[in-house]
A and B are shown apart, each in its own frame.
Chain A
Amino acid sequence: NAGVTQTPKFRVLKTGQSMTLLCAQDMNHEYMYWYRQDPGMGLRLIHYSVGEGTTAKGEVPDGYNVSRLKKQNFLLGLESAAPSQTSVYFCASSSAPPSSLHFGNGTRLTVT
């Protein structure tokens, strides 16, 4: 009964370093999303995917890349981390919209 699993839970990067966040879901959902959550700003969509092999930009895509090579996985990459990317990142999945989203527990990223 895992649902949506995000790894890692915490990460600290230095400016300019790269990293990849992994999201895995076991609900056979077609749609997957990456959001970032910042104080006072709610959740903002970074990128999303409507199926295996597809990706699309959300509201705040700059500085991030994503891949959906397998239906159950959605990866978020930062090629050159910046302090402005310090945030909590949430992955979510859903059936075809307007279904409700199922969220992971988040990854807290700090960029120094």
Chain B
Amino acid sequence: EIVLTQSPGTLSLSQGERATLSCRASQSVSSSYLAWYQQKPGQAPTLLIYGTSSRATDIPDRFSGSGSGTDFTLTISRLEPEDFAVYYCQQYGSSPLTFGGGTKVEIK
């Protein structure tokens, strides 16, 4: 099983700042099958990034993904009020599919 470790657990930032979220895998994620999801309180998760760096439909370009192998990053270039949420990475290259524990981006 591929274990995904997200860091930090909580990121306290101000609107307009840059957010950098890390997702580290216990073994290489095949073919960059790595996705990022955003979840706001009381809502279902929504897809942000797939294939490590491809933005999902209607996702603004302030969100970007990068990485390969075992190290992946989600970057939010300038935080907007609606971006304060919990973010999860997921690998879907091998079974069992696994999620990271999440990073909460909160208002400083």
User: Do the two chains belong together in a single complex?
Assistant: no
Q: Which positions in B face A, CB cutoff 8 Å? A: none
A interface residues, Cβ below 8 angstroms from B: none
